[in-house]
Structure 1
Amino acid sequence: MAALLNVPTSAKAGEIIEIKTLISHPMHTGYNRDDNGQPVPRDIIRLFTCRYDGAEVFRMELTQAIASNPFIVFSTIATASGPFLFEWTDDKGQVWRETATITVA
């Protein structure tokens, strides 16, 4: 799966920054059937988290109601230069991780 991140590379201390993520995932709800009429097992991204400089700043639990390729937007406050760690976990236990770094002046 591929993930796209839109994170500012720099910000002023105390500034509110917007973060956007998009991950490619089919998000099978478990309600659909394949070409042979068999149920397609549920396989959705069930958890998304973001850590900023080691501290969790955003957590989202997803359900079947979310569309394929979830696009998530949230804000946080720029407090220090450091890394963002993004993590998506699906029903099968597969985990995708991406990182981005911000410089705070």
Structure 2
Amino acid sequence: MAPRLLYLIFVRLVGLLVLLGRSSAYKDVELLVLRHEVAVLRRGKPKPRLDWVDRAVFAALTRLLPTGLRLHRLVTPDTILRWHRRLVAAKWT
């Protein structure tokens, strides 16, 4: 029990130090991305459906996030590339 408590305290302190080291612009962008993700998740009943506006917002905002944070979002860089491939395939077929 005590080692787990010490571990959790250590993880929270390291997380706090990481947050203090980031600029306010990254924090603001991350908050915008999280708010939009919550809005999309609330809208979808079984599985969230993303329309082109949601995709554009996610694509624009995730480019501003640091690389470590991009990988843990609802929309990852691979997702954005898949959307682009589908868009190009639909346009040129």
TM-score class, shorter: under 0.3
| Structure with the larger helix share | 2
Bigger Cα Rg: 2
- Give the TM-score taking structure 1 as reference length: 0.22
In the superposition, the TM-score normalised over structure 2's length comes to 0.24
Q: Which has the higher contact order (CA 8 A, sep 6+)?
A: 1
Question: More strand by proportion, 1 or 2?
Answer: 1
